[in-house]
Structure 1
């Protein structure tokens, strides 16, 4: 193997970093800004095989350990390419697709093992992909994030409909926390709305479909996508809801952090 001049110091630095993780790194959430699950498990590895843990983020680095094919309660230290969820939510699909494969520095629950693994072999505890082949208005037994997200969007439209008969406005900051993230609630407090973000228009007369998970990508890196078909004054369009866990609220419930309509989004 050809070893570049800078390779050995890089390995030494990586080894020191891994040792530091094992010895003294504090517990970390899934993302540096607090979004995502607190624990991860290995997925996509055959029974009898193991997931290689490497000295650095890539296959050019030596294997320094393994995680079992069904290992659970892994702690995520960081991932590269690095981004916060706030930045990720602003990225375009093209920008996301252009990113190189992500690698994550993981640590076992007992802190005896650590190393870099390809993120495609990780899934958040409780974030297993939901079966969206059949729609149901009831949450899946035991609860799953996609079903919870559907319930939030459904409840938002039910509340918006009841406003006409004197119900509490879900866009009132005093009520919005039941549907929106803490950041969106703060936006509602600070900026008067020019257009109703629920319907994507100043006025509404028409119909709204049942909220459905996005058929192509219902969940991606902790972000859930729910689509609603709206017909307003005879004109159809799709409202796209982006949701994720909100650590700014007790229990980190699934909440809406962005609504996308044709040509614009809120906030």
Structure 2
């Protein structure tokens, strides 16, 4: 399988990406009584589990970890990907495992049938490891196309992007916004502004990151920043929960049929 790296740059790919951003695919009104936050991890380096999940757990929080199971224990230039045992530890600790395709594939490089096979393979592997289904998706590299997004949002509760915005009002579940939680870009003042805005709008603030360590990569978070984020959320009374739990908080399943999951997610 040819795995396309990074964002697709051809004119055709750019056009499909633009259409995917502009055309509503699955509108969903957020109806929760208060703001909620989710901290998510893409690719899931082993430090996201050994450090990130531990920090969340100590604060009574839970996260969503988007895993491409076919890359488990793979060593790339930035980090080593988590192991199957660590994936099992996540669900046993009350965290959610999400889908990131099986081999971290740019979805724009796949037709719908090939994309379905990627998701099927990942689902089988994660179910074998944890006993739980995959309910939420994050686009590898943050790249998406119209037809791929349409398929994915029919299959999953939500599809998380890297489009930097707070989710307020009526959102598109195919294009859930997220803010990068990176040491190189995040400050206390910005955190306070983001959380304050989410509280005022009774919205859903989603963060995303990768590795967690004292000297994180440019896509990662230090323990200091992770603890600061959890502290600011707590100061504003905003719970930090999985994507699944945040969706339920905002009314997912009340006016539509939601999958019966059995997944372990922190309640609000």
Instruction: Pick the TM interval, shorter chain.
Output: under 0.3
More strand by share: 1
Q: TM-score, normalised by structure 2?
A: 0.22
